[in-house]
Amino acid sequence: MSTVTTEWTLCDIEDHLLALTESMETATPGQEQEFLEDFSAALTSAAEKRDRVAHHLAHLEQQQEFAAREISRLQKFRKEREAAQARLEGYVSYCIRTQGKDKAGKYKRLEGNTTVMFLRGCAASVEVRDLNAVPLDYQSATFTLPASMLNDLLNTLGEDFRGEVRAEIARTLSRVADKRAIRQAIEMGIEVPGAELITGKTTLGRK
């Protein structure tokens, strides 16, 4: 790995970080350590280099914010275009229907010089008008409750039915630890097996 130059530009930093990221899976521990040593030496050698790194971090944050705004803008744009297409298709469909059907019982086509627009049948589909009226056998439910409560609930069931329910739950079950509750318990002196409260972590700040 090449040694970090004494005069870094934002492009230099970007290139080194990109190279490290792209080679993360294939780079040897020695190569990564070499990069880290070079980076550390450059970062600790002069205040100017620290400023450049901090400025580049701010630049990366700005790019992320810009990307988030662009994603939001494009999502809104897509929805608007989808709505415009649906509305225009509705207008065209209305025009075709007003022409009536041909002798074969099909709606007449609208033909242009290079295009043809027509109505075609759709596959049968279901439209739910009143969910409360639909029998439970034809509904599925998704909900969240504490894992301990779920376990207590399962224990109240008969053995055979409990096995069926467990199998169905396991098919789609997704679990996540309640870190807020864990932290509160540990801070109150309660031991939580499988978890610990980390107090020595740091995060990078800038001004």
pLDDT by residue, tens only, the chain of 207 residues = 444 444 556 566 667 666 655 565 666 777 778 777 877 877 787 777 778 778 888 888 999 999 999 999 999 999 999 999 999 999 999 999 999 988 888 889 899 999 999 998 877 777 788 888 888 778 877 777 788 888 888 888 888 888 888 887 877 777 777 888 888 888 888 888 888 888 776 564 555
Query: Is 43 part of any domain?
Result: no
For the chain, how many structural domains are there in total? 1
8 A C-beta contact, residue 96 and residue 110: yes
Quickly count: other Cβ atoms within 10 Å of residue 12's Cβ: 15
47, part of any domain: no
Domain holding 147, by residue range, is: 133-193
- Please check whether residue 9 lies inside any domain of the structure: no
In a domain, 164, yes or no: yes
119: Cβ contacts below 8 Å, ≥ 6 apart? 93, 96, 97, 107
> At 143, is the secondary structure helix, strand, or coil?
coil
Whether residue 157 lies inside any domain: the answer is yes
Burial 174-196 (b: 16+ CB within 10 A, else e): eeeeeeeebeeeeeeeeeeeeee
Q: Is 43 helix (H, G, I), strand (E, B) or coil?
A: helix
Half-sphere exposure of 71 (CA within 13 A, CB side): 6
Can you give the pLDDT at residue 171?
Answer: 78
Domain presence at residue 105 = no
Distance CA 83, CA 155 (A): 50
Question: Does 39 reside within a domain?
Answer: no
The predicted pLDDT at position 4 comes to: 46
How many other C-beta atoms lie within 10 A of the C-beta of residue 161? Answer: 10
SS3 state of residue 84: helix
Q: List Cβ neighbours of 190 (8 Å cut-off, separation of 6 or more).
A: none
pLDDT of res. 69: 97
pTM of the shown model: 0.61
Q: Is residue 22 part of a domain?
A: no
Distance of CA 97 to the CA centre of its chain: 42
Which H/E stretch holds residue 126?
none
